[in-house]
Amino acid sequence: MPRPARRRFLKALVVAAAAVPFASRSGWLQAAEDPSGLAISRHHFPQSVASGDPRPDRVLLWTRAPDAGGMDVALRLQVADDAQFLQLRVERDLVALAEADHCLRVRVQELQPGRRYFYRFLRRDGDTWLASPTGRTRTAPAAEAPTPPLKFGFVSCQDYGGRWYNSLMPLLEEAPDFVLHLGDFIYESVGDESFQSVGGERNIVFDDQAGALPVAKKNGGYFAARSLDNYRQLHRQYRTDPMLQALLESAPLVAIWDDHEFSDDCWQDHSAYSNGRHDEGDRVRRRHAEHAYFEYMPVDVEVGANGDDGTLAVDEERLHPHTRLWRALDFGRDLRLVLLDYRSQRPDHPIPEDAFPGALAYDQTALQRLLPLLGLDPVAMAPKLMPYLDLADDTWKTLRKPLLRALTRAYTDEGIDKRDAVRRAQAASTAPMALMALRGILQRYNAAVPGFMQAELPPAEGDYPRGLPWLALGKSKLFSHIGSRYLVVKDSYDLLLALREAEGKLPLALGEEQQAWLLAQLASSRARWKLVASSVSMTSMVLDMARPDMKAPPMLQRKFYLNVDQWDGFGRQRDALVKAMDEAGGTVVLSGDIHAGFATQLSQRTLEFTVPAVSSQTLKDILAGSAGDDPDTADTGRRLVEGLDEVIAGGDARIRHAQTSRHGAGLIEIGAEGDLRASFFELPAETCRQCLYEQPAAMQAQLRRVGFAVSAGDRVLRPDKADSPTNAGRETPYHQHMAVEA
């Protein structure tokens, strides 16, 4: 139908939430006495329904009602006390706007605290009324009331390409009060063969291919979302999954984002695909990602105008950098859930991906000035630093030309255009350079040129100044995430962060405003349980490659941080936050992102549960895919992968549980006595490659449940001795949940 004048059509009914018998309402539906007879049409509501961000008096409801002709669609919302919709609380006329991709987000207020409600959307098809699937939601308990026993699921990382969401099935069985999603609800890339399947039933090809971002790789490329249509298409497709729909129909969602909602390893509006080959800042793309996110997710965050009918719009001018996703939800007086946004304000990774390995992060002069501020003696530290040559000194001027030639060739081989390659090479060949890197470059240069062109190498030993080059942090290639975001030398990185902070040159990962808000939330809340949702893990993941069983080459025999894109990248800030959490009485941190499961006693009264991926490639499989890339370290890489759980657990004594090879989901339960129980539901990696939605017994046979108990008194993480495997063959409510389709 053509779009009517919005206000004239709506005549918005702000219906108070007093119970009104359905039969007493003036009839717009002839079969009012038998509303359960309405046909449910998933065809007319292909992404089903969802609710989110429950408060004691309100909840956000969502659906999508597309129209083949691209017109606005008139809908009617019903919220009731009962599944038959005989006792209506809310009845409201609304419009799913074509300009919002026919998504509708509506805030329903004046509800009762701690109550379950049923809701559905209706639309006409000719003379027939059709219903969406019925959704179930629940408001939060009253703020001043004791928190009743409750449980909620927590999940992360649900890639769609070639993968199924079997990991969500155990959560449906548990009937959680709400579901916490910790990010990577979608993946912005399609066809990245390094971790996504190409072809088959779970394949996505962008409709707006011209608006997508081509990402080049040596062994081929893939596309990432850039246009608004690209991001909308991803959300549309992900939300067609029957298991995800069933879960969102059954309980409200509380969600934060991580990187893949916009771009892998992003910071602010910057991507990291090219590893520094060119500037990847793109505010338009970031806003497109956020625009689609707020259209499709039932997140009660104001990013646009609020209609008199409760609808929430999206205004791109109110998106990045103005977005405020971080927020807090209370569930009675005993539970506060604090939701963080790690991506929107964080600075770039402290080690630039395009850092020239031989260049210095800090030279000798700077270190002599800064090390005493850290309580370190420059003389005592000298053996731990690396010798370098200052190529600006004419003593070494004969080395500049061969270095310029060698580095220009190296940069052009990396795909850098000639002008930029020369610029980068000139900068590197006239600045301080680590002796090890310089000698290595010249040795390779001499092997490739005639004798008369060869350069004389500086002595390997000598009275050289000492500094901290990027090479000392593990950066060995011109453009690489290795040594910048992943596999970073621990001791050198810890020193780098300390030096940056001493200079005041490392901005807060959360930004000033969010960090102050977080500290205030911790200090002001009297809740027995303060839970912090962080998209990335606070658990320190250290790989000790000096272990004898690794049999690593001498240069690798040191400790590495596995991933400094997560909180290890801002370790000193993380440690200060954990201290503040302890001082506030203790906190439970819930996190994801790393595609592995961890349970960690971060401090005396603060602990963390990091949930494995719903379906995204497991951490062990990711490392296995790259372990053999370098023949010189391939054997060590394979040994690392084989013993990965043990190596990571051994890298930090605070880790109580580590598993890197299984998918899964998490469950938090607050009991009647106020103690907390956490469980991981874990499935073997290969199970995500097949759909087990209609085979609950097959899923149950492979399911492993790992439980932990935490006393409200001492906050110590302990194995849950009462835990036992779930019953094989138990029927999943998924089968009970699916309604007959029209």
**Percentage of the chain with pLDDT > 90?**
87
The average pLDDT across 282-287 equals 98
**Percentage of the chain with pLDDT > 70?**
92
Q: Is the pLDDT of residue 293 over 70?
A: yes
62, 105 Cβ separation under 8 angstroms: yes
**What would the pLDDT profile of 40-97 be if each residue is shown by its tens digit?**
999 999 999 999 999 999 999 999 999 999 999 999 999 999 999 999 999 999 999 9
> What's the confidence (pLDDT) of residue 727?
33
700, 727 Cβ separation under 8 angstroms: yes
**What would the pLDDT profile of 130-139 be if each residue is shown by its tens digit?**
999 999 999 9
Q: Tell me which H or E stretch contains 328.
A: strand 327-330
> What's the confidence (pLDDT) of residue 722?
64
For the chain, the average pLDDT equals 91
Q: What is the DSSP string of 477-512?
A: SSS-SBTTTEEEEHHHHHHHHHHHHHHT----TT-H
- Identity of the amino acid at 56: P
The average pLDDT across 470-480 equals 96
Please state whether the peptide bond connecting residue 387 to the residue before it is cis, i.e. omega within 30 degrees of 0: no
In three-state secondary structure terms, 334 is coil
Nearest CA to 163 out of 677, 581, 618 is that of 618
Rounded Cα gap, residues 735 and 509, in angstroms: 43
The average pLDDT across 7-16 equals 30
Q: Is the pLDDT of residue 29 over 90?
A: no
Rounded Cα gap, residues 311 and 686, in angstroms: 42
Cα 107 to chain centroid, rounded: 26
Q: Is the pLDDT of residue 6 over 50?
A: no
pLDDT band, residue 729 (cuts 50/70/90):
very low
The average pLDDT across 669-686 equals 95
Q: Which residues are CB-contacts of 455 (< 8 A; sequence separation ≥ 6)? A: 398, 399, 402, 403, 442, 445, 446
189, 196 Cβ separation under 8 angstroms: yes
Q: Is the pLDDT of residue 188 over 90?
A: yes
96, 72 Cβ separation under 8 angstroms: yes
Q: Is the pLDDT of residue 335 over 80?
A: yes
> What's the confidence (pLDDT) of residue 216?
85
> What's the confidence (pLDDT) of residue 734?
37
Higher-pLDDT residue of 192, 351: 351
> Which of left, alpha, beta for 53 (phi over 0: left; psi -120 to 50: alpha)?
left
Higher-pLDDT residue of 636, 727: 636
**What would the pLDDT profile of 559-586 be if each residue is shown by its tens digit?**
999 999 999 999 999 999 999 999 999 9
The average pLDDT across 236-256 equals 98
pLDDT band, residue 7 (cuts 50/70/90):
very low
Cα 456 to chain centroid, rounded: 50
**What would the pLDDT profile of 389-436 be if each residue is shown by its tens digit?**
999 999 999 999 999 999 999 999 999 999 999 999 999 999 999 999
**What would the pLDDT profile of 508-539 be if each residue is shown by its tens digit?**
999 999 999 999 999 999 999 999 999 999 99
Tokens, residue 563 = 């991933």
Q: Is the pLDDT of residue 27 over 80?
A: no
pLDDT band, residue 541 (cuts 50/70/90):
very high
Nearest CA to 186 out of 237, 131, 118, 138 is that of 237
**What would the pLDDT profile of 588-635 be if each residue is shown by its tens digit?**
999 999 999 999 999 999 999 999 999 999 999 999 988 877 888 899
The average pLDDT across 307-329 equals 97
Write down the pTM of the prediction: 0.92
Q: What residues form DSSP beta bridges with 117?
A: 137
pLDDT band, residue 200 (cuts 50/70/90):
confident
> What's the confidence (pLDDT) of residue 723?
55
Residue with tokens 């919005």, as numbered in its chain? 6
- Identity of the amino acid at 36: S
pLDDT band, residue 35 (cuts 50/70/90):
very low
Domains defined along the chain, listed by start: 6-138 (2.60.40.380), 150-184+242-262+324-347+508-542+560-628+648-737 (3.60.21.70), 360-503 (no CATH)
Q: Which residues are CB-contacts of 73 (< 8 A; sequence separation ≥ 6)? A: 1, 65, 66, 67, 95, 96, 98, 102, 123
Cα 483 to chain centroid, rounded: 21
Higher-pLDDT residue of 202, 285: 285
The average pLDDT across 358-380 equals 97
